[in-house]
Amino acid sequence: MLTALQRRKLQLRFALLDTDGNGYLSQRDYDLVTLRLCAAFGHLPGTPEYERVHHAYLKVWEQLRGLMDADGEGRISLTQFMDGCERLMREQPLPPAHDPVDLIFEMVDADGNGVIDLSEFTKWMHSYGVGAQDTVEAFDLLDSDDDGVLSRPEVAAAAQAFYASTDPADVGNWLFGPL
């Protein structure tokens, strides 16, 4: 059973993913967030950079759809999302994806240097509608070694904590901004 904190985190994640705000997740939401993120990085539709990010987002969508769209309508309700995440968290510590951290880096590490800097993180969070102050605060909390970038281990620890931790003080709760 999900704790109240886990429910709040999953509700936040759902709200951020529901880009068009219609109360359901669909491929359209993933297309829209791709457009927003790529626009922030200056990647136009049809460019290799755009297609790389779009492919990564569609990979996540197809996995979620396959696991949570039980009625086959091509959309996922909040209830389906919460139930699916609860089931998945019992089976594995992270949400479904071939490698969630690799997908995050594929989408956000625009310069390909193996770390996510504040500018890249900001563009990512803004594509979901997270405000500037919350983004900076989240980045500072997630940067556990205070080196000014997020490494794969830092992002992996944050992802693990976001989905699995029941500790309200865990900094991983900030992976997608404040609760």
pLDDT at 88: 82
The stretch 46-55 carries a mean pLDDT of: 91
Tell me if the pTM is above 0.75: yes
Q: Is the pLDDT of residue 97 over 50?
A: no
Helix (H) or strand (E) holding 24: strand 24-26
**Which stretches within the chain are classed as H helix?**
4-17, 27-41, 48-68, 78-91, 100-108, 118-127, 132-142, 152-164
Indicate the pLDDT class of residue 24, thresholds 50, 70 and 90. Answer: very high
Q: Is the pLDDT of residue 107 over 50?
A: yes
Q: Is the pLDDT of residue 99 over 70?
A: no
Kindly report the average pLDDT of the chain as a whole number.
90
The stretch 27-34 carries a mean pLDDT of: 94
CATH of 4-167, one of 2.40.50.140, 1.10.238.10, 1.10.287.70, 1.10.630.10: 1.10.238.10
The stretch 61-86 carries a mean pLDDT of: 94
Q: Is the pLDDT of residue 93 over 70?
A: no
Q: Between 110 and 77, where is the model more confident?
A: 77
Q: How many other C-beta atoms lie within 10 A of the C-beta of residue 124?
A: 23
Indicate the pLDDT class of residue 92, thresholds 50, 70 and 90. Answer: low
Q: Is the pLDDT of residue 94 over 60?
A: no
Indicate the pLDDT class of residue 153, thresholds 50, 70 and 90. Answer: very high
Domain boundaries along the sequence of the chain: 4-167
Helix (H) or strand (E) holding 75: strand 75-77
